Every structure is written in structure tokens, then in C-alpha cells.
Amino acid sequence: MRDPDALIARAGVRGDPDRDQHFLVDDRVLDRLPTYLEEIDAETNHLLEIGGGTGALTDRLLDLGDEVTVVERDPDLAAFLREEFADAIDNGRLTVIEGDALEVDLPDFTASVSNLPYGVSSEITFRLLPEGRPLVLMFQQEFAERMVADPGTSEYGRLSVSTQHYADVELVETVPKEAFSPPPAVESAVVRAVPRDPEYDVADEDFFLRFVKALFTQRRKTIRNGIRNTAHISGLADPDAVVDAADEDLLGKRADAMAPAEFAALAELALEVSGLEDD
């Protein structure tokens, strides 16, 4: 495996915190990341990496997968990856896409392992989750803890419900600041997401996610008040009709005590009795 510090030296770059660049340089962490896919027997035919940097993780993914696609927004780093891994590109095993991971067309990948740019980690995650592929992603630790949180805990929120709508998620490893160059200001953590269908049905996924978002803007209020106060976010045409139709015990809860299935049932009821303003 290529030495991460040597890669940085050959690239002639330094990580730039102002541009959300923190290169993962700890060999032990780099070596472990692909194993989180192997543990679940994930298909590794075509691996996707968001934020290739200088290629330390790319090198390890090439050792695991048949084909790897790397998305890198920094033109200089993208050019370095093409030079450093020219052999893998020539034999069709590696594709380097230069561009923003939120804007480029993504390939038909089978799994993703990525050290995400933290500033846009949420947006990228919710681009990847609907694809229904196993994910092993590096986040700020606080963000990761919110993704995997259970109802009734202080970390539980919109992020928890939205993430767990798509996948079983597990925090598999915490990563110290010293594993990066330069070290970020916060600790990091690795989350593995294994896609599965939720245990509930939703007729309109966009509305369900928007409804969850709306109620968590009022997380300290009861669900009754949350429904009434957030029609401008949820788009409900008649929030009072939802309150009149919903179970009284449910209306007395707060959003952070509601399981995803309860949100789903309430969202279905809301659409049935109220509808949306633009319908």
C-alpha cells in the first residue's frame, strides 16, 4: 500500500482547513475502512469514493474492488490522482471525476467508502442514501452520533429519522484528530449504513422527510403544536384537521420521543385528512 505521507509529498500539497481538506494519514485507519464492507459481504464490483485527496484510501479501495470511481473537486488533486494511478486508469480499473460530488453524475456503484468533506457531509450523504448501496463514511463524531441515535436521547433528531429511514446505521469506529493532516478541530467517526426497506410504508417520501424536518424545528413543543406551527414547512393545507384526527397520546409527545414508524404513520394520516396546499 502507498504511504499516505509520501503521497502528500509527491502531490506537493498541504491540507487546507479553510477548504475542508484534512487528509487521512493513519495507515491503521485507512487499512480498516475497506474491511467494514467485507464484514457484511458487500458487493465490491464498483466502489465509489467521494473526496479522493491524494489517494491513500483510493489505493486501498483498488486492492478491494474490481473498479473504483473517485470524485475529487480540487483540480490539482484530480490531476495528481490521474498521474499517480495512471496504470489503474489505463487498465480500466479507476475513473477520476473532477467536480463537485453534489453536481456530477454518479456512476452505478455497488458501495461507497469515503472520507467526506465535513462541510457538505449531510448533503452528500443524502445524495448517496437513496441509491440503496452499502456506505462506509467518515464524519465529524457529533454528526455521526446523531445519525445513529435512538428516540428519547439528546442526539436524536431529524438526521436520525431521515438516515434510519434508508438504512441500518452503526457507528463502527471513532477516529482521533491526529489521524489527519492537518488535524481537524473535532474528533471523527466512521458510520456504516446497510440499506434496507423501512418497517413502515410512506406514500410520499418527499413529504415524509419534509414533515419530519418541520416537526423537529419545534422539537421542544408537543406534536400538536408542532403540526399547527409548521404548515409553512410541511405544506399541509389544513393542520388543524390533522390534530383533530390524530391520537391524543401521540399529540402529547415531543418530536424527539417519536420513533420513525410513528412519524410515518402520522405523515400518512396528515396527507389523508389534510392534503397539501398545492394539490
Question: Residues at the annotated binding site for S-adenosyl-L-methionine?
Answer: 22, 24, 51, 72, 100, 115
Give every CB contact of residue 30 below 8 A, 6+ residues apart in sequence: 1, 4, 24, 56, 57, 60
What would the DSSP string read from start to end of 164-214?
HHHEEEEEEEEE-GGGEESPPSS-EEEEEEEE---SS--S-HHHHHHHHHH
The 3-class SS string of 224-261 reads HHHHHHCHHHHCECCHHHHHHHCCHHHHCCEHHHCCHH
Q: Annotated binding site: which residue ranges?
A: 22, 24, 51, 72, 100, 115
What would the DSSP string read from start to end of 88-132?
HHHTTSEEEEES-TTTSPPP--SEEEEE--GGGHHHHHHHHGGG-
